[in-house]
Structure formats: structure tokens, C-alpha cells
A = this chain, B = another copy of it.
Amino acid sequence: MTDDQEPGSPRLSRRGLLGLAGAGVVGAGLGFGVDRVFTPEASAASGAAASYPFFGEHQSGIITAAQDRLHFAAFDVSDITAAELEELLSDWTYAANRMTTGLGAGQYGPASGPYDAPPDDTGEALDLPPSGLTITFGFGPTLFDDRFGLAGRRPEALIDLPHFPGDALVPALTGGDLCIQACSDDPQVAVHAIRNLSRIAFGRASLRWSQLGFGRTSSTTRAQATPRNLFGFKDGTANLRAEDSDTAADVWARASDGARWMAGGSYLVARKIRMTIETWDRSSLREQERVVGRTKGEGAPLSGGTEFTAPDFDATGRQDAPLIDEAAHVRLAHPDTNGGAKMLRRGYNFVDGNDDLGRLNAGLFFICFQRDPREQFVPIQLRLAKNDAMNEYLRHVGSGIFAVPPGAKTGGSIGDGLFG
């Protein structure tokens, strides 16, 4: 191959190229050869060579088997026009599709010239396979203000999240007009994606906040073992799984829900939850298991059984005390006690160094997807925020909600529905 660009397929816009180049010279569009050897045909592979299609009915990175690593980014859109926003989303689509197949972000790649222009890919993923990369885009509530004429397009389900009891949100870690979730089994591939998309956005949108996650805390398919969070407990045992028959109804928005353009999309809620792990680590095993409502080793409900045994919230022990505490996390979060409400959780563990007191700045970067946050995240989180015994060991410091549009059609843009 000397040029991987198909005739008639989209190219990066002139503004997108300027983002790469600053005020520099931009190449004349000559083919300079492909830099990376993985092609969309590798999509069926597994392991490091795994790749997921970018185009399709739904965006990848939602019911996709949760990858091991995360780089999440929220952006503020600059003072640009609606047409320029539309072009940005088109440029992002172009680059995201390429990167999920293992190609560089732009046509020339990081190392193939033109020599007097900046490379159109930064290069740190040059020798790396797709590693299961998914890139998932979302639109925050503020995108629907009066700047871009989109107020009438705002989905009703894209609410402003209410204040939850105990919230200690830091504005610099909260909100955003746009978000990108990049997940991969190789962190360098996820970082490469966010870096190159940020670069393409130069002058049009800038990073507001971002988060690396090193370990997944949920499984989203039956084949995946349940991972552990930084409390040391299994997390997501009762999570929705891609194979489950009712998952689609809980995850995907429908045309009849209100915003027709969101049909096949979903709503993402992100919460940066700092764990006070030093306090947790000094609590007894009995207290830890009481708070969670499950055993620490096996992850079985305290009402008995093994990890996947349904919790029996009515079971009692000595002196008729419930085996699963009234304030246990598993009780308050469970669908059985929330009118059946479920979300697809897809969170990650994080450690951001340590604070001035020598405590690790660590916790859970919670991400969930759902059909309607008003029926799912919000009522569940309100209940947890009021009563969960775990609150003593948590602090919510960041938050975001985003409408995640359906997948783009081949050759289309992730913004097509929004502006359609």
C-alpha cells in the first residue's frame, strides 16, 4: 500500500489540518505511504490485534467488552460557529475511525512526511496494534445553549444533574460541552487517541478535564471475570452484560423517547469518586463487608451463596438482624430495591499521585450508560447519597453527563444526527 485513502472518502478539513500545523505549512495532499500495518480487516481478531468497527448502529465502547485501560476527556468548545462545530465532529470522526483500525490519525502518519509540515499523527502508537481501541463521543448539556442554535435539539433526558447529598464537586473536574471516552487494552493507544483528537481540535475545542484509568472495575460481557476496585472488593457482579436480553432496553435510547436523533444512542454519566482509602484500610474486615454487603474474597452476598447468587435482602441472622445491612451498598444499589432500574457500568480505578498529607489520590472513575438518567442514574444515586454506608469512605469530586449519539453511518459523521 502506498496510500490508504479510498477514492471519495472523507479527508481532514482544512481547519483540522491547521490544528495539526498551527500556523505552519500544510502538505499538498500527496500520498506518502501508510505508516501502520493494521487494517479494518483485522476486526475479527482478539487480543492486542482486536479492533472494533467505528461505524455502526451504536457507538463502540458501550456494550463492547470492557477494555483494561481508559483515557477520558471533556472539552469546552471555543468561540466558533455551528458550521465549524459540525466540521470538528466530522474531523474527529475521520481520525477516530482511522485510529480504531490501527492507522495514524491523519493521512500521512507520523513519520512519512511532508518533512516541512508537522506530522499528522504524533507517533507514540506507531508500532502498536489497535489493542481493542474504542472512541466514544458525547454531547454535554451546555452544547445545547444559545451558541450553536442547538437548544431545540436538546434531548429531555439530557438533564442537568441535580446536587446529590455529600457532593463535593470541583468545577475544574465537572461538566464539558463534549466528551471522548477512549478505551483500549494498551494505555498508550488510549492516550494516543485523546492526544491526537485534542490536537485536531486546536482552536475549536480545548481540554477541560481528563482522566486516566488503569484498571477496569466492571465486566460488560459474561466471558469477563469480575474485576476489583480499590476497596479490594469485586465490582459490577450484578452489572448489565451485553449478552443479556434486557440490556438493550436499559441502554439504548429510542425514537419514541423524545429526541428522535438519539435513537440508538445512550446517556453517559461520569463521576470522579475519590476513595478515602487510608480510612477504609484501617476499618475491620467485618465493617468492610457490612458496608459492601458481600464477602471480600468470593464476592458472595452476605445472605449466602457464591458471587452470582442473588442477594436475599430479607434473610436475617442473630437477633433477627438482616444479614445484609439496611445501609449496605449492594442493597441500596440493587435493581430489586430500585424498581428494577439498572445501568451499564463501565468504570475504572485511578491513582493520581498523592496529596500533601501523603495520602494516595485514588478512587473510582465511575462511568455508566443508560437509556434515561432520570429513571436510572439519578434515582439510584439519590438513594445512595442519602443512605449508603459506603459514603463514609467516598467523596464525589467530579461529574459529567453526556448524550452519546448513535453510531455514525459509514462515511458519515458522529455529528450527523445532532445537526440533521
Contacts and interface: CB of A to CB of B under 8 A. Distances in A.
A88 to B, nearest CB: 15
Interface in A175-218: 187-188, 191, 194-195, 198-199, 202, 206-212, 214-215
Contact of A124 (B212, B349, B359): B349
Contact of A111 (B24, B206, B212, B296): B296
Contacts of A25: 284
Contact of A119 (B209, B288, B353): B288
Contacts of A123: 228, 231-233, 296
Interface stretch (A275-283, A332-340, A373-381, A405-413): A275-283
Contact of A349 (B22, B126, B188, B289): B188
Interface in A84-132: 110-119, 121-127
A214 to B, nearest CB: 4
A301 to B, nearest CB: 15
Interface string A256-279: 000000000000000000000110
A285 B117 contact: yes
A82 interface: no
Contact of A207 (B188, B202, B358): B358
Interface of A: 20-22, 24-25, 35, 69, 71, 73, 76, 110-119, 121-127, 172, 187-188, 191, 194-195, 198-199, 202, 206-212, 214-215, 225, 228-233, 277-278, 281-286, 288-289, 295-298, 349, 351-354, 356-360, 362
